[in-house]
Amino acid sequence: MAQKVSPAVIRRLPKYYRYLKELQRNGVIRISSTSLGNGMGLTASQVRQDFNCFGGFGQQGYGYNVEALQNELAAILKLNAGYRIIIIGAGNLAHALINNFIFSANGFTLVCAFDVAPDKVGTQIHDIPIYHMDELEQMCQVYQPDAAVLTCPGKIAGAVAQRLTALGIRGFWNFTNTDLPALDADVVCENVHLSDSLMTLCCCMEKGG
Amino acid sequence: MAQKVSPAVIRRLPKYYRYLKELQRNGVIRISSTSLGNGMGLTASQVRQDFNCFGGFGQQGYGYNVEALQNELAAILKLNAGYRIIIIGAGNLAHALINNFIFSANGFTLVCAFDVAPDKVGTQIHDIPIYHMDELEQMCQVYQPDAAVLTCPGKIAGAVAQRLTALGIRGFWNFTNTDLPALDADVVCENVHLSDSLMTLCCCMEKGG
């Protein structure tokens, strides 16, 4: 289904999901497409169009049930698919993610991390064990990961991605600020280009006094 | 100028800039809009349209000079405007950014960080001093920052942003996974929603065997 849906709509789904979670926390049970759009900076018509891509979930004149819509979105986002993810590169960013980021709330179970530094290999961050990159093949057999977070140096990202793809990894969450080489057609890559993000902020700032 | 340009074009500028830097590293001196488009996943016409928003930099049948175009983009992105930035919250993510991220290559000089933890306040990460949040007003007078990286807990992000806006901060690089409240019209916020990003990856993955 997702293949027919535009990337822009796909990219809005997590935002809807996040907003609906907030509404639920605030005790909202039902919401109109107009209110939902207002909260998201979209028009009511855009909201309805977005959901129509998936068959539409509302009822004319009734609005959306917040909990039901959230469940529908979780299913579309495949948050309960049970994907397993590993981290390549156990530096500060990996620490930050492991300590502060709830992978399980975003569709993935984090199973282990890999590095080459002798003072890291064999230790744990929270309960996540760190293995040596030499053990990658062996441990991927054990853990059967579906995806990998790349927090390794950019200069090895391409080679690592190819090695992981050969091991059955089909998704990359790429923090290396490097574009990965062309991968198999069924492999997806989500880049977090922090440089692009900060430059965008820079560009949009107004030089004042 | 930037006000008239669509957000989608603005968001592509850092990608052009990054790609041109790579071309220059590889010794490319001149490039056609077709080749530039190919490398960026855009059509030649889209490339020309994007640059026409800023007056156009190429010459018919000649292409773009890689170094000159890079300099033009740096100017549009305001990378040399001399903005100063501070970090609120000196946890793992702040460490990761300070240790691995080159702020100066992306338009900002990182001047200091703030936290409340007694074991952090008074120390440094690389040469960046960490002050107590109680010293925020005083230190903003000293350092005159233009922007702030928010790596603090999400539940205080809104209040911190309002406090910083009152101190003259006009840009936020927001990692708190929380949307900031409405701020002054001349204040810009660039959100790095890691949750949205990982959910997008999850959604796009193909469940295989």
Candidates A78, A202, A204, A206, partner chain B, best to mutate (most B CBs within 10 A):
A202
- Tell me the C-alpha distance between B118 and B108, whole Å: 28
Measured in degrees and rounded to the nearest 5, phi and psi for residue B124 equal -130, 150
- Tell me the C-alpha distance between A18 and A184, whole Å: 31
pLDDT for residue B207: 62
Q: Is B204 within 8 Å of A101 when comparing Cβ atoms?
A: no
Candidates A193, A196, A201, A204, partner chain B, best to mutate (most B CBs within 10 A):
A201
Residue B54 predicted with pLDDT over 90: no
Q: Which one of A76, A91, A205 has the shortest CB-CB distance to B203?
A: A76
Confidence bin at B2 (pLDDT 50/70/90): very low
- Tell me the C-alpha distance between A74 and A81, whole Å: 10
The pTM score is 0.83
Instruction: Please name the helix (run of DSSP H) or strand (run of DSSP E) that holds residue B176, with its range, or none.
Output: none
Q: What's the gap in Å between the CA of B61 and the closest CA on chain A?
A: 29
On whether the CB atoms of residues B16 and B77 are closer than 8 A, the answer is: no
- Tell me the C-alpha distance between B186 and B171, whole Å: 9
Q: Which two tokens stand for residue A99?
A: 């300590």
Q: How far from B45 is each of A114, B1, B141, B175, CA to CA, in Å?
A: 43, 21, 48, 35
- Over chain A (209 residues), the average pLDDT of each successive run of 10 is 73 92 92 91 91 80 90 93 96 88 93 97 96 98 97 94 96 92 90 92 78
- Residue A59 is given by DSSP the state B
- Amino acid letter at A143? Y
ipTM comes to: 0.90
What tens digit of pLDDT does each residue of B119-159 get?
999 999 999 999 999 999 999 999 999 999 999 998 999 99
Of A98, A198, A13, A96, the C-alpha closest to B192 is A198
pLDDT for residue A178: 85
